[in-house]
Structure 1
Amino acid sequence: MLIVLICTITLFVPALGSDAPCHNIGGTCQDDHLHCSGSYHTGLCSGGTHRRCCSHSSAAGTDSGMCSHVKVYSRASWGARAPKHVTTMHTPASLFFVHHTEGNFCHDFASCATQMRGIQNYHMDSRGWSDIGYSFLVGEDGAVYEGRGWHHVGAHTQGYNSRGFAASVMGSFMHRKPNDAALNAIKNLIQCGIDHGYITSGYSLYGHRDVGSTDCPGDALYSEIRTWPHYSTHHP
């Protein structure tokens, strides 16, 4: 049975003192004045900002969907835990849902990656779910962060998880809409999905509230997506 993801999430508390995100990509946390035979990656180590992840892995910062017009940070890049189990998504999907997390805003990789790890921990440890619920999340840095991705069924929209993908913008968008960088990231992610055969070209776009009793994705963001060409007033 697929579990419904409730948009209201107010507690994103990543594990303190953990270097696991760096270790997950085969890296080592060290002071960045030391020599690194690979390359340094920010936001994956505990401690001060000078303590960074030295890794040979190309996973940190890779474009996980081969999307040419939007940066997609892979799960390894933001330090995701392995899922407890997965269910294969049958594509192309004809539905796409927009959510917001109702948590903190983020405007750079380090803060967005911290948010991602906190959301995943909350979903897996507090909710008891198999993984982070959304297909993708979006920051106001203009980047997309891979959640369950294109290949696995999410836990985001009750009754529609196996029929559609969902992108959730990190933050609360009741009173303001996300910045243009985040809005363009959603649009470009959808186009990437179409280009690679994950989403039908005639897909229908919805806000979470269109199919559930919730204020998600927030009044301001909801008003925005209702102006987009594929927004549908018909029940899916």
Structure 2
Amino acid sequence: MSQHAEYSRRRFLGLAGITSMAAGLTCATGAAGYLLITAVRRSHGAAGPTATPRPLALKQIDRPTIISRAGWGAREPDHEAENESGFYSLLNEEGWREYEGDLRDTYTTVVVHHSVIVESDDEATMREIQDLHMDDRGWADIAYHFGVGTTGVVFEGRAMDVRGTHVEGANTGSIGVVFFGNFEETVPTAEQIVSGQRLIDWLALRLELTHLAGHKEFNDFTDCPGRNLSYYLEALAESAGLELGTSGYGQPKT
């Protein structure tokens, strides 16, 4: 890890220590976003692992503030897209798939990505990602279900009840979250980590997820989500009460 990345991590963890653990755990969407990451990092010190707070044991995790598709100016899906044409069937397995039934019976794993591209502001980045996926890659819509901007703003991407196109060979039953940035070269902001953690904590509870993985754990041909974001995956997983890795991935349970 670069010195810049290590400095950013220390700064983030320094901010985390401002509020007491007791106060943080009263609200899953408040200071706990900092505190749970801090606790995870401290739990792997010289004295060995210790108990880590798990949001899934809390009574409630409120839905984080999420900018809707209309709010960031999303395009409508194109169901004639070259590489995701038409609708899913046994004869068209790569088509647009809308999940049926309870989403808790479908999803097992949240997959973390980085966008590589970053525009002048977060909304512009979200639109550019969608344009790239639809116009250059021939998909019907943006590949990811959520985006986490550099300012910590969270964006709605593809609807949760629609299969994404973010992991080769493992899209069915995985939910895609992209952090804006190229984290092979830069580091995520503290705001991104906190907002991303809140989002993943909520998704884990809402969808009864079991695992979290980085993109490259499924597809070894990519560096995504970059080494400087990969550094946080263990903490994000433990915060949400998830196991790290691909072993929980599977096709829909129904």
TM-score using structure 1 length: 0.63
Could you tell me which amino acid in structure 2 is paired with residue 155 of structure 1? T
1:140 equivalenced with 2:140 (yes/no): no
Query: How far off is 1:149 after superposition?
Result: 2.9
Cα distance change of structure 1 residues 160 and 234 upon mapping to structure 2, 3 Å threshold: closer
* 1:166 corresponds to: 176
Cα distance change of structure 1 residues 119 and 144 upon mapping to structure 2, 3 Å threshold: same
Tell me, which stretches of 5 or more residues in structure 1 are unaligned?
Answer: 1-66
Could you tell me which amino acid in structure 1 is paired with residue 218 of structure 2? V
Q: Per-residue CA shift, 1:54-112, capped at 9, x if unaligned?
A: xxxxxxxxxxxxx8463210000000011023421352211010000111166xxxx11
Could you tell me which amino acid in structure 2 is paired with residue 83 of structure 1? P
Choose the corresponding residue for 2:70, options 71, 76, 80. Answer: 76
Q: Per-residue CA shift, 1:13-54, capped at 9, x if unaligned?
A: xxxxxxxxxxxxxxxxxxxxxxxxxxxxxxxxxxxxxxxxxx
TM-score using structure 2 length: 0.59
Where do 1:1-236 residues align within 5 Å?
68=62, 70-85=64-79, 86-89=96-99, 91-92=103-104, 93-104=107-118, 111-196=121-206, 199-201=207-209, 203-212=210-219, 213-228=221-236, 229=238, 230-233=242-245, 235=247, 236=249
Q: How many residues align?
A: 163
Over the aligned positions, Cα root-mean-square deviation in angstroms equals 2.0
Q: Per-residue CA shift, 1:150-203, capped at 9, x if unaligned?
A: 11110001122111101011111114431121112222112222443xx215x2
Structure having the larger proportion of residues in helix: 2
Cα distance change of structure 1 residues 173 and 138 upon mapping to structure 2, 3 Å threshold: same
Tell me, which stretches of 5 or more residues in structure 2 are unaligned?
Answer: 1-60, 80-95, 250-254
Query: How far off is 1:233 after superposition?
Result: 4.1
Structure having the larger proportion of residues in strand: 1
After superposing the two structures, state which structure 1 stretch, 91-100 or 181-190, moved more. 181-190
Aligned-pair identity in percent equals 31
